[in-house]
Copies of this chain bind each other. A is one copy, B any other.
Amino acid sequence: MAARCHLTPVLRGLARRSTIGLRRQAVIRQSISQPVRNLSQSRLLLFQRTNAVLKDEFTSEKYPDIQRDTRFVQITPEHVSYFKSVLGSESAVIDGVTSEGAADDIEPFNTDWMRKYRGHCKLVLKPGTTEEVSKILKYCNDNMLAVVPQGGNTGLVGGSVPVFDEIVINMSRMNQIIEFDEVSGILVAEAGCILEVADQFLASKGYIFPLDLGAKGSCHIGGNLATNAGGLRLLRYGSLHGTTLGIEAVLADGTIVDDLCKLRKNNTGYDLKQLFIGAEGTIGIITKVSIQCPQRSAAQNVALFGIESYEKAQLAFREAKGQLSEILSAFELMDQGSQALVRQVTKNNHPLEGEYPFYCLVETSGSNAEHDSEKLQTFLEDVMDKGIVADGTLAENETQIRSLWSWREGITEALGHLGGVYKYDVSIPLKELYQLVEDIRARVDAAGLLGDTDEYPVRAVVGYGHMGDANLHLNVSTRRFDERVEKLLEPFIYEWIAERQGSISAEHGLGVMKKKYIGYSRNPTMVGLMKNIKKTFDPNGILNPYKYL
């Protein structure tokens, strides 16, 4: 007895909300009391709540095991003079070494946007050219001064702020688009170019940046490469390892590596640029980027399904890949618990009437709206006829599209609104992706820590994420800090993932946070080879120390 597909408007209570400038996250954000000026601020509010206990704590206090490397020299006024002579402009050097008054100016460079990591840096350098980056690094390497390369500082693992007194090399002044070929779609830009700026430029040319993520208004494309950012378009456009054509980078000793290739094919030697993608600034500083950009899709459609089991969610994904094929641009999974939390916070009615253990959001992007709608409707009817999907609804306009997306993208904010959250961003082979959520929920429940009333420290264990990429966000929503919860979760979760050959960091990287856990996802042979690479490229270890490996 297959349920019937209803293609009526989906808004109910969402429809009358006005939109704001930021796509997708608009609806939920408005339901939160504080005014929101931009995405980064929005996130900051969230995490201030979530991590209130950590506010203003130094990383060096939080991680007492990490000791300052005594090989590194303390910065002197003489060093500062040199940097001022190189960078010329006063605004390119924020000097807290010779000037006490600069502390407030330096604080934003010392602290990540979650205020979870905080360093003791006293000097921020903002080079304007590759040659300046080169001179800075050569001098630092010669004088054993440690540095932290910094892009938009939107990372989640503490990779872009200092731990001790490392010099911050902030790339924000190198923010120009250098060239764009309208025939090939190849964009060349400086590393400090903001992702959204690049994407808006490309939009005016009918192209799209092959990467999209929540922090697009702040993050730099150089930082995107350095952290191998994944985001919302990976299912469709693949990873940066495939789309990046070339980079220019500066090595620890100041050597400029010009690999700024603007060709799709170039089989002449080892593809060294790949090492810099995801290296988190530990082997060099990316200064320019050359990237292959796809055509921007004229049409976008979104559907939301209710599904009765994780097995059926997998079948729906398989069918979506088969039937929607080249126009499929997102396939997101949300469990019942995550949707209940969004409903609880927003007080909105869910677009689907019944309750289902799982929900899937399917997005298509293509060049012909009519064709795409037809494919998506046919697909929806087919999966409902086959009993794979219990209920479903199709968005009919841009407002409805944003509303459906809000039930996926509002989860993070809803969770943050409710209290502290333990968050795990992991990859797990698709078959067992959701099993981790069930196992953790059972484990917390068995320990008597999960319940609906205040006596239980854990409110909910929920899962959602980029199903198309086998990327799960496991979230444990708590009412208060309780050491018993933490002990239940770690290292159990890392071990669980290691047993299934998953990844303890799907897209966020290692930074300070996961440095010591790399062994759960990489064997000693691999880690040994990585250390050789680090030593080859940065023998003095001045680049982003105390992190990554």
Interface residues of A (CB under 8 A from B): 181-185, 206, 227-228, 230, 234, 238-239, 241-243, 255-259, 261-272, 274-275, 277-279, 283, 295, 297-298, 314, 317-318, 321-327, 365-368, 371, 374-375, 427-431, 466, 469-471, 501-510, 514, 518, 521-523, 525-527, 529-530, 532-534, 536, 548-549
Nearest neighbor of A262 in chain B, beta-carbon distance: B429
- Please report the C-alpha to C-alpha distance between residue A365 and residue B325 in the assembled complex, in whole angstroms: 10
CA gap between A174 and B272 in the complex, in Å: 29
Tell me how far the C-beta of A218 lies from the nearest C-beta in chain B, rounded to whole angstroms: 19
Chain B residue contacts of A321, Cβ below 8 A:
185, 295
Q: Is the CB of B183 within 8 A of A521?
A: no
Chain B nearest CB from A179 CB (Å) reads: 10
CB contacts (< 8 Å) of A262 on chain B: these are: 429, 501
Closest Cβ of chain B to A546, distance in Å, is 16
Return the contact of A367 from the options B274, B314, B322, B533 (Cβ within 8 A): B322
Q: What are the residues of chain B within 8 A of A431 when measuring CB–CB? A: 181, 183
Q: How many copies of this protein are present in the complex? A: 2
Closest beta carbon of chain B to A66's beta carbon, Å:
18
13 A-B residue pairings within 8 Å (CB atoms): A184-B430, A242-B242, A257-B529, A259-B526, A262-B501, A263-B470, A266-B505, A267-B507, A268-B509, A268-B514, A275-B275, A297-B325, A532-B536
> Pick the contact of A274 from B271, B514, B529 — CB < 8 Å?
B271
Contact B536 A272 (CB under 8 A): no
Contacts of A514 in B (CB 8 A): 268
Residues of B within 8 A of A532 (CB): 536
Known contacts A271-B275, A371-B368: does B241 contact A264 (CB below 8 Å)? no
Given contacts A238-B243, A525-B257, contact A518 B322 (CB under 8 A): no
What CA separation (Å) do A298 and B326 show in the bound complex?
A: 11
CB of A429 within 8 A of CB of B181, answer: yes
A268 with B536: in contact, given A206-B322, A326-B367, A429-B262 (CB under 8 Å)? no
Give the contacting residue for A375; candidates B181, B256, B270, B371; CB below 8 A. Answer: B371
* A371 and B278 alpha carbons, distance in the complex (Å): 39
Instruction: Give Cα A230 to B265, complex, Å.
Output: 8
> What's the minimum C-beta distance from A242 to chain B, rounded to whole angstroms?
2
A309 to chain B, nearest CB (A): 14
Indicate if the CB atoms of A255 and B375 lie closer than 8 Å: no
A266: B residues at CB distance < 8 A: 427, 503, 505-506, 521
A429/B184 in contact, CB under 8 A: yes
Q: Which residues of B contact A272 (CB under 8 A)?
A: 526, 529-530, 533
CB-CB nearest in chain B for A228? B267
CA–CA, A529 and B273, complex, Å? 11
Q: Would you call A268 and B505 a contact (CB within 8 A)?
A: yes
Docked Cα-Cα span, A140 to B534, in Å, equals: 28
